[in-house]
Every structure is written in C-alpha cells, then in structure tokens.
Structure 1
C-alpha cells in the first residue's frame, strides 16, 4: 500500500513539473517575439497605406492624389504624367510623400485665365489647399496604418491584446516618422529639383534660375510658382502663358565630346529652342579621327540657332579647325583668343596641343596640356590689363583649364567623358562636361552606352557671373527622356551673405 501511494505521488509530481519544462523549452525567445511583432506591424502598416492611405485634393487649378509611402530616403515626388516627375529632397524620414497630378480642372484654370486678378491670391489658395490636403492625409494615414497593423496582428496572433499592441506600435512608428520629417524639413529643396521626363517639358517644370534665387523669401511662393508651371504644361487654353526666361538671365549651353554622333545636333537644337539659349560653348572632340571626310558632319552647326564657340580637342585635327572657322555663326578659339557674344559675354580659349589619332607623333601627356594652360592664363591676364576681362575660359583638357585658376571666374573643359565641378584654390570654378555624344558612334558597340550629357549655365546678364546651372542627362541613345538637376553655387544659396555692390567691369 505504501508503495502504491508513493508511485501515485511521484506521478503527480512529474505531472506538475514536466509540463512547464516542456512549455519553456518550446517558448520563443523574447527577441524573436519582438522581431516578429515588428515585421507584422511594418507589413500591416504598408498594406494599410496601400489600400486606403491616399487623399484626393484640389491644389489650385489641378486635382491631385497625395500618398505616403515607405521609403529609405524620404523626400517628395511630384508626378506629372505623362510629362515626367519632380523629385525634391524635402525631408529625411522612412516615409515619402507622393503627389500625383491627376488632371487640370478646366473650370478652375479658365477662371484664372479669364480673371487674371485672381493670380495674385494663388499662392495663398495653394498653401491652404496643401495644408488641408496634408492634414487630411495625416489623419487618413494614421487610421490606415493602425487598422492595417491591428488587422494583420489579429490574423497572425489571434489574440486581441497582441493585435492592439501591433496597432499601438504602428501608431508610435508613424508618429516618430512624422516628427523626424518635420525636424528635417528642408524648404530649400525646391531650389534644386530633379526632373525626369520629356525633354521639352523641362524648362517649364524646373523654372528660371534667376527667379528661383531672387524669389526665395517664403516656401509658399515657390510652391505657388511650381503649381503654376504645371498648369502651363497642360495648356488648358491657348491663352495660357508660355515659358518665358527672365530677361536678366543669360543662358549658355555647354557641350563637349560629341564624337561624330549625329543625334547630338538634334539634342542641341532642341535645347536651344526650349531654353532660348544665348550661346553654345563646345569644349572639343567633335570629331573622332579628324579626317577631311568627317567635315560634312559639322554642316548642321550654323542652323542650331545660337552663336557656336568651339575649341579643338585631341580628336580634332587642324583640318577640322580650318573647316569650322569657315562655318557661319561659328567662333573658333585658339592661342588664348577671345570673342564677345550675346550682348557682352567674353569667352577665351585654346585648342588642345595634342592630336592623338596621329600615331606618328609621340603624345605629350599632361605636361603639354599644362603648357597650353599657361599660355591661356597669360592671354587672360593680357585681356584684363587691356580693360577687356574674360568671363569664361575654355580648354578641352581639364589639366589645361586648371591653369587658369585665379584668372577668370569660370573655366570649362571636357575630355574625360565624366561630369564634375569644383572651385579651385584661387577661386575659379572648373566645370568638366561629360560626352554630349554619349561617347560617339562607338557607343553602339557596348551593351550599356554612355549617357548623353550637357549643362545649361545661367549667368547674370550684367555681371556675367554664374547664378545656377542645370545638369541635363539623357539615357544612352535614348532621345525622348531626360533628367534635369538644378544646381546652385554656394555663393548664391539663400543663406549666403550678399556681396558688396560693385560696378560692372569695363568692357
């Protein structure tokens, strides 16, 4: 009897102690449970935003759809289908604001055209519309995020308490993201937009550089101008104003390294027309071998619609230069010679001292380029001493152009097929352009052709100083789409101290 009682007690002891041990052995680690909850919250929040997290809101004369999207970089993207999109580095947070311009409301647009006095109040109207739309979006997004995370948590865990925890965590994450976006909000991002879309739409969307610098008083004004430009693009009526560059801004197109790509002339002609270019500067390597047979390739230049300033590259021969000098509206620069175009812009340049297709001559390398650069710098000093200072110096090779540091405000070059810009030690800004020919006809031999690049320089018409520039990039051999990125010199940023007024240089 005692033995039977002992066996019963032993079984009861094991039943009370073995089950919890088994449960503990299979219980997940707290870190694993936390990670799983975070995954559920993020996925549920994303689903919520995807399903119901957008707002249709009128902004001035256009109807828009505003949406919050998960993102690693944040920012704002304004889609103007089918013309393209503007990307702004407006904030740094794990959420991005997408604004889709759905359509132009013909009635509201016509009201602006028929009653021009209403345009003066457009910025207040747009500001109010954006604030209302943003608040509505914030509330709807909170509901969508919490509902999505809670619903998914309930489906996964089947416990109301865990589901509510998922919803609470989702709300906390969205609140933290909103605070981060507010803390990092950068209204200056509208000064350097990146446009992707149809090339002909870029000027109207990005706007005029001089106006952007001058009108940066409040963000609302820039927002109003941006929406006004979008309105122009849709052309609701033929009486809507077209893009008009500021008369105080001079526009210079910098191209380089065309390398016999015939498509380059169509691209340059389009840019001249769309941006109302005052002058074109070509920093060389227009040819590939410099042969006389290639000269016919240059014949479209006189019809591009703007003065064409050219310096010889290492792929351009003396015969190429002689042919260029006979073309109408073309200014060939060499030996530091200077020319005045576009109502006072003075440009000096020097040809590349090397002609690399000629294998019978040993290349001089950087040493020869520096000698040419020194010669150009000496010519710049002579021009300054004569009372006719030069505004822009041009050489094909950046090594030569770098020798002009301190002698001229701006120096242009090419050769490397890579775009870059820097302010050198003595204050001269050196701008090196990529290949406007996408590496030339040889690019078709590669699976991934080089991109086609050009830059539009905005200069003050009185001082001839650089105000801003647009970096224009086309996909290799793709001529219908482009990226346009606005850049501002540090001295022209809204935070820069204004320079002391000075009289324009004598000419």
Structure 2
C-alpha cells in the first residue's frame, strides 16, 4: 500500500506540473482576453445574442398551426430561410412557391386532410361555393393570426428562459427578452417592407402542378382585383376538393402488398415536364417498375441523349423499348442509366414479372427515311415472326412491350398482355386470343406535336396492378392531365373483368405481305437495297450490307 500511495502521489504531482505549465503558456492570451470578456459591452452583446437566438428558435418551434380552410385542413408552418417566401403544398399534386416576402422566416401551407362529406356538398351545390368565398378568407386570417401569436409567445418565452438559465440573472434575462422582442419587430418590418403582392403572378410549380400552372387562373388580373382573387381562391379550393373526392368513388379493388405496380408511360417526345409527372406518380402510387414503350426523343440525335439522364433519378427499374423516333444512339444513352433495362428482342424478369421487349424496326424522325414505306401488314408480320421465335423458345413472358400497336398485335396469344404506344391516344381491347392490347397515350403531351391539333394533346400515363401470385392484370388507373393551356386532371379506375381468362395461341408468322406504299413489297426495310430505285427501275434483290 505505501508503494501504491507513493506512485499515486507522483502521478498527481506530474499532472499538476503539466497544468501549471499550460496555464503559464496561456497566461499571456488569458491576460489579454480577460479585459475583453469581462467588459460590460461584451457581456451585453452575449446577452443580446442569446436572446435573439432563443427568440428565433422559439419562433420556429412554436410556428405550427392547423386551421380549417373550407372542406380541408391546412397546416401552417414557419421554417428558417435565407430568402423568405411562401410554399403551398398539395400532396400528391406537388407544390406552388411564391416570392411573397424576404427575411429569415418562410411560410409553408400544407393540405393535410379533406372532409369528404363537406367536399361532396361543395361540389354538388354551387351556392356553397359562393358562400365559401368569404369563409376561407376569414379562416386564413384567423389561422395566420393564431400561428403568429403562438410563435411570438413561445419565441419570447424561450428567449427569457435561455437567458435566465445561462446568466442566472433576472436583469439579464429581461434584457434577453427585450432583444428577442426587438428581433421579432425587425423580422416583422422586413416582412412588411419586402411584401410583394405581385408574387402570385410569378409562381413556381413543382410536381404535377408544374404541368398545369393555369390552376390559379389569370394571375395578373387576380393581382389587380383582390375580390376576384378571393373568388378564384374559393374555386381553387373547390377544384382541389373535387380532385381529391374522386379517389373515394373509385371501384372497390384495392392494391395491396401482394400487388405488383407497373407505371406505363410512352411517347414522351423530349418534354422535360414529363419527368415531373412520372416522378410524382411513381412516388405517390409506390410503383415497382416503370415501362416506357418508346419515342423518348424527337429526332434521335446525339444532343438529345442528355435528356435520358433524368431516368436515373426515378429510383425504380425503368424498362424501355426503342420507338420510331429513337435511334440506336438513343438506345445506348438509355442503357447507360444505372436503373434502365433496355429490351430489344429479349426477356428479363423485373419486379417479379417476365417482360419481353422489342424495339421498333423503323427510324422515322422527320418522315424522310426509307422506313416510311413500311405498311401495317409488314409491321404485323414482323411481330408475328418474333412471336413465333418466342413461342418456340418455350419461355413465354407475362408482358410484351412494343412501340407500335400494329406490331404488338403479332404477339397475340403469346402473353396475357401487350403494351404499346405510338398513337398518342390511349385505348385498350381484348384480342380474339384473350390477349389484352393496351395502347398508352403520350406522357409528354406529344411534345411540340401536341400543338398541331385544335386542342393540345393531353398528358397520359397509367398504373397497372398485377397479381404477384398469378402475374395477371387485376386492374389499372388511367391518369390524364390537360395539355398546354388546359387545367383538367382525371383519375379513372378500371377492373379487369376476367383476370384469369385463357390465352390461346394463334398460327405462326407468315412471310411479310405486300404494303401498298413499299417499293419492295415482300421485304422489310432492313433488307432493302441501299438506294431506293425510281418507279421505272426494276428493284434489285441484293440486300444492303448494313
């Protein structure tokens, strides 16, 4: 024991010596800092900083309040921000951002709940919508007043408690409280001074709302006429209520964990807004895989390849087949995306489904290539030829993906379902073999081609529900958004009447029949000579080297 005691004494002595040397080394700095830290202005500044910080944190902590707005509940929340502003969140539609004010605090209004009974009454009775005009204005004022009062009181209380806990002085706690109050007054003045009533004329949209910015109507006239704005706000609440209410009237089939959810898109045609729609729908519907039946691009050129980079941001497998506006270089650009699966005469199992895909044999970006001579009979025969090869392999798929529905018809009897696009108009029918041919509209609103008709082409996509046990289609939701300049949004549920129906094969493919527009009636364009002969020249039968 004496030895242990002596060793401990020596160790403590060494530690004391090291501490003394450290104090001696720091003493010049300590001596210089002591007058500064001990000065009255430094202590005053520290109290003010603590008061301001406590007030700001308390303001944010207390800045949350749920208020009724018509048939809905809206959560108002204050967030820290460098630029201020207001965000209106309408899940699953997206968000609308307004530069209403500057300052260190932003306001978020989020739709959290909808009362179906009130919404239904609002939709069916137009007089209810008129009464809603004054009602929601008062409800919003009340909600904002409650939010700000709650936030200010909690901010002041937090500042006082923080200052008292740190400085253990009632006088300094009151000083911290005063500095917090001054800070809140400064924030109020900044908000008031930077308030921008024109901000509603320049909103930014994200999610599905990015494709329907006219949802707020004629924004400039709304700014000029506040009464018109109030009426438009009431109509906006009514429209959102109607859109949400549609979900309660869908048929009874409810997707569950045993369901494979497939999002079918097609004919995006280089429209960047389509990615917002696809991302929002794939997230909200929790899809397992996205299938694209082609025409991702417009001309299949190399500068367009970068458009495919957005695929990697979708976070789920993306199955793709080439369309007639997509080149082989387009196909390679898609292949480079980590979640992309390109199918061209091949079968892959994705999300539990065996999917066979076949790229379009044509490339007709500007209607000036020899592939324009391909007729419907040739395309159908091409599909029959590949279907015969698939049937002989003995490994039949659950789903076939082509671009042109005419070629897709050739796979009738090979799989229970064939997905296609190309037509820019959604349709579906049961073929005689029991195969369902599902043709998707244009998820890109046909790109610039959507402006060629009297009315813009709508944005269309569908969520298909397959049984995980039988791999058969059980039902699907068709989503349709109005094209450029339109604001309609529609969700329609369909049920497969006989999901377990028999699928019977059809006869194998024959040789390609004559096409009335083809200079080589019995051959497909890939087998034509390299130079198209004039009508008076006898066609050569020598195939081109490429």
In the superposition, the TM-score normalised over structure 2's length comes to: 0.47
Post-superposition Cα deviations, 1:459-494, rounded to whole Å, max 9, x if no partner, equal 1111111111111100003697520111112226xx
Select 1:292's aligned residue among 302, 308, 327. Answer: 302
Structure 1 pair 63/204, CA: closer, same or farther in 2 (3 Å)? closer
Structure 1 pair 443/315, CA: closer, same or farther in 2 (3 Å)? same
Cα distance in 2 for residues equivalent to 1:253 and 1:488: 16
Select 1:79's aligned residue among 101, 104, 120. Answer: 120
- Given that 2:264 and 2:292 are in contact with CA atoms closer than 8 Å, whether structure 1 keeps it comes out as yes
Select 1:340's aligned residue among 326, 349, 352. Answer: 349
- Given that 1:197 and 1:483 are in contact with CA atoms closer than 8 Å, whether structure 2 keeps it comes out as no
Are residues 1:248 and 2:248 paired?
no
Structure 1 pair 362/459, CA: closer, same or farther in 2 (3 Å)? closer
After TM superposition, give the deviation of residue 347 of structure 1 in Å.
0.6
Q: Which runs of 5+ in 1 are unaligned?
A: 1-60, 66-77, 86-95, 104-195, 215-244, 493-497, 501-507
2:495 corresponds in structure 1 to 488
1:354 corresponds in structure 2 to 362
Select 1:469's aligned residue among 468, 473, 476. Answer: 476
DSSP 3-state at the match of 2:419: strand
Post-superposition Cα deviations, 1:169-227, rounded to whole Å, max 9, x if no partner, equal xxxxxxxxxxxxxxxxxxxxxxxxxxx858995896467x7xx248xxxxxxxxxxxxx
1:440 corresponds in structure 2 to 447
DSSP 3-state at the match of 1:422: strand
Are residues 1:412 and 2:419 paired?
yes
Cα distance in 1 for residues equivalent to 2:384 and 2:281: 33
Are residues 1:314 and 2:324 paired?
yes
DSSP 3-state at the match of 1:269: helix
Structure 1 pair 256/303, CA: closer, same or farther in 2 (3 Å)? same
DSSP 3-state at the match of 1:491: coil
Cα distance in 1 for residues equivalent to 2:257 and 2:485: 32
Alignment of 1:129-278 (within 5 A): 197=240, 201=244, 205=248, 212-213=252-253, 246-278=256-288
Select 1:391's aligned residue among 362, 373, 398. Answer: 398
Post-superposition Cα deviations, 1:36-63, rounded to whole Å, max 9, x if no partner, equal xxxxxxxxxxxxxxxxxxxxxxxxx958
DSSP 3-state at the match of 1:376: helix
Cα distance in 2 for residues equivalent to 1:199 and 1:477: 21
After TM superposition, give the deviation of residue 306 of structure 1 in Å.
1.5
Q: Which has the larger radius of gyration?
A: 2
- Given that 2:321 and 2:342 are in contact with CA atoms closer than 8 Å, whether structure 1 keeps it comes out as yes
Structure 1 pair 324/271, CA: closer, same or farther in 2 (3 Å)? same
After TM superposition, give the deviation of residue 326 of structure 1 in Å.
1.4
Structure 1 pair 488/367, CA: closer, same or farther in 2 (3 Å)? same
DSSP 3-state at the match of 1:250: strand
Q: Which runs of 5+ in 2 are unaligned?
A: 1-113, 136-238, 503-546
- Given that 1:454 and 1:473 are in contact with CA atoms closer than 8 Å, whether structure 2 keeps it comes out as yes
2:292 corresponds in structure 1 to 282
- Given that 2:356 and 2:397 are in contact with CA atoms closer than 8 Å, whether structure 1 keeps it comes out as yes
After TM superposition, give the deviation of residue 377 of structure 1 in Å.
1.0
- Given that 1:315 and 1:355 are in contact with CA atoms closer than 8 Å, whether structure 2 keeps it comes out as yes
Cα distance in 1 for residues equivalent to 2:440 and 2:456: 17
Structure 1 pair 372/63, CA: closer, same or farther in 2 (3 Å)? closer
Cα distance in 1 for residues equivalent to 2:243 and 2:281: 8
In the superposition, the TM-score normalised over structure 1's length comes to: 0.50
After TM superposition, give the deviation of residue 369 of structure 1 in Å.
1.4
